[in-house]
Amino acid sequence: MRLLPFLASAVVTIGLVSLLNTQLSIGPTKSPKLGYFLSPQHGFWKNAEKINTNFDANLVAGELKGNVDVYIDDRLVPHIYADHDEDAYFVQGYLHAKFRLWQMDFQTRVASGRLSEIAGADKLSIDRFFRRLGMVYGAEQTEVKINETNPVMKATVDAYTAGVNAYMKQLAPEDLPFEFKLMNYEPELWTPKKTYLFLMFMSYDLTGRSAALDLQLTNTRDFLGYDLFNKLYTNTQDSLDPIIPKGTVYQKPSIVPIKPANSDTNYLMHKNTLAYQTQPSPEAPDKNNGSNNWAVAGSKTKSGRPILCSDPHLGLNLPSLWYEVQITTPTHSTYGASFPGSPAVIIGFNDSLAWGVTNAGRDVLDYYELKFKDSSQNEYWFNGEWKSVTKRKEVIKVKDSADVVEEIAMTYWGPAMFDAHYQNPQSKGRNLAVKWTAFTPSSGVEAFYQLNRAKNYDDYIHAISLWTCPGQNFVLATKSGDIAIKQQGAFVARWERQGDFIMPGQDSTYDWQGIIPNNENPTIKNPIRGFVSSANQKPTDASYPYYLGTASYFPLYRGISVNKHLANMNQITAQDMQALQTNNDNVFAATARPALMKYVQLDKLSPDAKRMVAEMTNWNLVNEEHAKGITVFKIIWDSVAQAVWGDELAGSDLALTKPDDFVLLDQMLKDSNWSIADDIRTKDKVENFKDQVTLGVENATLKLLELEKENKLEWALFKATRVLHLTKIPALSRMNLPIGGGMNIINATTENHGPSWRMIVHLTDEIEAYGLYPGGQSGNPGSPYYDSFVDYWAAGKYYRLLFLSKENLIKNERTKWHIQFKTAS
């Protein structure tokens, strides 16, 4: 033996193995373990799915009560046929895991503040935010309630969980999903709590904007003073076309919230001047989280049968939030989009009816200011005495670092999210407790379970009555000819402006005075106009007896566009509905462009600015992919808005929120001498809209010339719509999609946001349904089914959905594979 060469060679070999078996730091991220990652028998190559993969399988599962057949069609959509309901959910869980395991793990990690555990201290600010907001606390409340009071839902979620875990238990290490290998961690078994955490995340996504907005509104009010604030952030929307048509008469409210006597001085006009410390705050949910849905009655369709459409607008991600599935058991047969992470179908249709949802946008999250007795934060002043808190301990594990422990004081209101230990630029050094309807134990998951089985209008009303948070507009159309829409959720009975700002929390005066009873939530069934619709606008006009929340929650113009089109359409077909769902008309610009042209002083403009104005005026007011006029319009409009209120909002080092576009447009239309138009920084001159629009056009031109140079004036190039992988890694995403649309447009496709599931259901005897989402059924970036719908989606095309009985599906030419589940016996 040659000792020296041996030792040298051994050291180098072992050194290289360790190096290739270590995650190396590259900036803030870490590399995969390169040797493992590249190994063709262990690493990512194992995830490179064969193009013609045969998905046939015979599986045995002891948890099943009977046999289950799954037929998979050419788009990889499973059609589950089970003899027992629980078996169907077991198999749904199994299939979610088989195709979406990493996503399920990742999304519940985000929701429960456990990203640092896999990604290190870099993600700590996100984890702390979600822990302190009470996400885990909320999920626990629902889990306890379901376990104690709802055996059917407990059995359903348990069966789903068992299905997920049955898949995970047979999963060989080399077959772990790609992202686990990339980020070097392993999944843990599913639990019912993870399902409730996922649903909690949806509550955050759809109502959590208040967590940032209430603070921004408070800061803005403090900065401007209430009178100026009330002008810029008015709740009056002149052009509102509400969900429930104007002029509807509402019953007398059963709760009449009383405004506290001292609220003008202690709340509305209150001005807080505490110093603030800074901490990064994570991204707030997208302001554009919204949706369209509508249903037209048989009186307006060619077939004489209703047609229902639903397209929820959410963040566009890969793997998609949605997973298509058909579930057929002796009790029901349902098709639609499901959430990987939750049983049943969320937006879809069954033998008898179809339903869809849009976000209600109502404010259901408030902050209350606390006074702690001392720095121990063990007692707080409430209703004239020092009250003890309970401390909730949240331990955040951090990769390669010590645990971080959050001790959260639980108060009468809810968790004390912001305190001496946790501040951000918005909370301004205050002690703030969160009160949020998402903390109320809920059987919300049963609402969808019941909708899946609903046969008629009454079943639908009963099913959705179980829904509390996030509040939704549930649209309905039945084969028997009914159409309806109802805004349903647990909504706070508020007095005017209650909860728009941080509220005093030292006594119960400012507490919520009740939750509006379900039967007083805005509802309409079979209206004379022959259609119902919603697009996140205010549900009612001012005659509804409850305060709806600040207008900033309710976009105006998509609703106007939807209703205008539906009112004019007759003899409607499913194809007409496809055209409407992908419609790019810009009703906002149709009003705003003439307003701009009314004020612009053309003779004062530079030649370039004139050319840009001409580009805008020659535009056909449609947000088409190749249009340049919309880009010009958007930049000019934003620039004019900045000229009008940039001076009022300048100089604050706090996080403020911008006024809404409708405020400026409504004022331009009715008052050419609006006082806000004056630039308060120029003492010797009083500017008006003419000055500001002209200035705005000139400022915009500078930016537009740059865009022109970069060849980015075309709308799709400027907007650069992308469907982002959940890790935001571009190589796993679809970037720069050729698609029009945008904000205020029915085709609400913005940069990373838009129609996340387009569905059209024609309620003929044999249901005619179309749909797709911008993703693919497989979550594996190495599968051809990973993004297989994206191009079709961008082109505004649709797939005909296969919704058939078992006998007919087996015979259908689009049916490709068969997975058979057998019980152990």
Partner 1 sequence: MKIIISILLCALLAYAVGIYGNLPWWSFVVTNLIVAIVVPQKSFHSFLIGFLSIGLLWAGLAIGIDQGNHHILSTKVATILPLKGSYISLLVLTSFVGALLGGLASLTGSFIKMK
Residue 138 DSSP SS3: helix
In whole angstroms, the minimum distance from the beta carbon of 779 to partner 1 comes to: 13
Q: Are 311 and 755 in contact (CB under 8 A)?
A: yes
**Amino acid letter, residue 546:** Y
By C-beta, is 176 or 347 nearer to partner 1?
176
Residues 6+ away with beta carbon under 8 Å from 58: 819, 820, 822
CA distances from 598 to 145, 593, 666 (A): 59, 9, 14
Does position 579 bind partner 1 by CB under 8 A? no
In whole angstroms, the minimum distance from the beta carbon of 99 to partner 1 comes to: 16
By C-beta, is 6 or 792 nearer to partner 1?
6
Among 44, 294, 715, 803, binds partner 1 (CB under 8 A): 44
Cα torsion 684, 690, 693, 697: sign: negative
Residue range at the interface with partner 1 (CB under 8 A); choices 43-51, 148-156, 493-501, 564-572: 43-51
In whole angstroms, the minimum distance from the beta carbon of 44 to partner 1 comes to: 6
Q: Which residue has the tokens 């702690």?
A: 372
DSSP state of 722: E
Does position 402 bind partner 1 by CB under 8 A? no
In whole angstroms, the minimum distance from the beta carbon of 171 to partner 1 comes to: 10
By C-beta, is 101 or 327 nearer to partner 1?
101
Per-residue binder mask for partner 1 (CB under 8 A), 687-726, x = binder: ----------------------------------------
In whole angstroms, the minimum distance from the beta carbon of 29 to partner 1 comes to: 10
Q: From CA 75, how far away is CA 630, in angstroms rounded?
A: 35
Total residues contacting partner 1 by CB under 8 A comes to 44
In whole angstroms, the minimum distance from the beta carbon of 8 to partner 1 comes to: 9
Residue range at the interface with partner 1 (CB under 8 A); choices 42-50, 121-129, 381-389, 450-458: 42-50
Q: Is 343 left (phi over 0), alpha (psi -120 to 50) or beta?
A: beta
Residue range at the interface with partner 1 (CB under 8 A); choices 9-17, 271-279, 562-570, 792-800: 9-17
Residue 225 DSSP SS3: coil
CA distances from 757 to 106, 133, 796 (A): 21, 29, 12
Residues in the chain: 825
Task: Calculate the CA 380 to chain-centre distance.
Answer: 35
Rounded to 5, what percent of the chain is helix, strand, coil?
40, 20, 45
By C-beta, is 718 or 785 nearer to partner 1?
785
Residue range at the interface with partner 1 (CB under 8 A); choices 17-25, 106-114, 146-154, 402-410: 17-25
Residue range at the interface with partner 1 (CB under 8 A); choices 29-37, 318-326, 477-485, 760-768: 29-37
Does position 731 bind partner 1 by CB under 8 A? yes
Residue range at the interface with partner 1 (CB under 8 A); choices 14-22, 332-340, 343-351, 446-454: 14-22
In whole angstroms, the minimum distance from the beta carbon of 170 to partner 1 comes to: 12
Per-residue binder mask for partner 1 (CB under 8 A), 589-608, x = binder: --------------------
In whole angstroms, the minimum distance from the beta carbon of 315 to partner 1 comes to: 21
By C-beta, is 2 or 252 nearer to partner 1?
2
Q: Are 704 and 644 in contact (CB under 8 A)?
A: no
In whole angstroms, the minimum distance from the beta carbon of 816 to partner 1 comes to: 18
By C-beta, is 13 or 519 nearer to partner 1?
13
Among 244, 535, 732, 739, binds partner 1 (CB under 8 A): 732
By C-beta, is 36 or 226 nearer to partner 1?
36
In whole angstroms, the minimum distance from the beta carbon of 34 to partner 1 comes to: 7
Hey, which residues between 45 and 64 contact partner 1 (CB under 8 A)?
A: 45-51
By C-beta, is 89 or 102 nearer to partner 1?
102
Among 24, 25, 28, 40, binds partner 1 (CB under 8 A): 40
Q: Are 737 and 794 in contact (CB under 8 A)?
A: yes
By C-beta, is 34 or 515 nearer to partner 1?
34
Q: Are 342 and 108 in contact (CB under 8 A)?
A: no
In whole angstroms, the minimum distance from the beta carbon of 183 to partner 1 comes to: 12
By C-beta, is 13 or 277 nearer to partner 1?
13
Report the DSSP pairing between strands 768-772 and 799-800.
Answer: antiparallel
Q: From CA 637, how far away is CA 658, in angstroms rounded?
A: 14
Residues 6+ away with beta carbon under 8 Å from 91: 68, 70, 80, 82, 163, 821
Order the strands of the 472-478 sheet from edge to edge: 57-60, 815-822, 68-73, 78-82, 323-329, 332-338, 347-350, 353-359, 472-478, 483-488, 523-525
Q: Which residue has the tokens 């509905």?
A: 577
In whole angstroms, the minimum distance from the beta carbon of 783 to partner 1 comes to: 7
Hey, which residues between 147 and 206 contact partner 1 (CB under 8 A)?
A: 172-175, 178, 182
Q: What's the start-to-end Cα distance of the chain, in Å?
A: 60
Task: Calculate the CA 720 to chain-centre distance.
Answer: 20
Q: Which residue has the tokens 């003492």?
A: 683
In whole angstroms, the minimum distance from the beta carbon of 178 to partner 1 comes to: 7
Residue range at the interface with partner 1 (CB under 8 A); choices 36-44, 81-89, 135-143, 590-598: 36-44
Residue 388 DSSP SS3: strand
In whole angstroms, the minimum distance from the beta carbon of 722 to partner 1 comes to: 15
Cα torsion 288, 632, 619, 232: sign: positive
Q: From CA 780, how far away is CA 181, in angstroms rounded?
A: 12
Q: What's phi and psi for 471, nearest 5 deg? A: -55, 135
By C-beta, is 10 or 602 nearer to partner 1?
10
Hey, which residues between 760 and 819 contact partner 1 (CB under 8 A)?
A: 781-784, 786
Residue range at the interface with partner 1 (CB under 8 A); choices 8-16, 57-65, 410-418, 564-572: 8-16
By C-beta, is 39 or 513 nearer to partner 1?
39
Cα torsion 378, 381, 387, 391: sign: negative
In whole angstroms, the minimum distance from the beta carbon of 24 to partner 1 comes to: 12
In whole angstroms, the minimum distance from the beta carbon of 25 to partner 1 comes to: 15
Tell me how crowded residue 140 is: count the other CB atoms within 10 A of its CB.
18
Whether a cis peptide bond, with omega within 30° of 0, leads into 319 is yes
**Closest among 454, 494, 504, 502 to 474, alpha carbons compared:** 454
Residue range at the interface with partner 1 (CB under 8 A); choices 38-46, 358-366, 517-525, 802-810: 38-46
Q: From CA 776, how far away is CA 260, in angstroms rounded?
A: 53
User: DSSP assignment of 168-216, as one string?
Assistant: HHT--GGGS-HHHHHHT-------HHHHHHHHHHHHHHHHTHHHHHHHH
By C-beta, is 98 or 494 nearer to partner 1?
98
Q: From CA 256, how far away is CA 249, in angstroms rounded?
A: 17
Residue range at the interface with partner 1 (CB under 8 A); choices 404-412, 442-450, 618-626, 727-735: 727-735
Does position 38 bind partner 1 by CB under 8 A? yes
Helix (H) or strand (E) holding 95: helix 85-111
In whole angstroms, the minimum distance from the beta carbon of 750 to partner 1 comes to: 25
In whole angstroms, the minimum distance from the beta carbon of 4 to partner 1 comes to: 9
Does position 42 bind partner 1 by CB under 8 A? yes
Tell me how crowded residue 458 is: count the other CB atoms within 10 A of its CB.
10
Q: Which residue has the tokens 């947000």?
A: 623
By C-beta, is 178 or 355 nearer to partner 1?
178
Residues that bind partner 1 (CB under 8 A): 1-2, 5-6, 9-10, 12-13, 16-17, 20-21, 34-36, 38-51, 172-175, 178, 182, 729-732, 781-784, 786
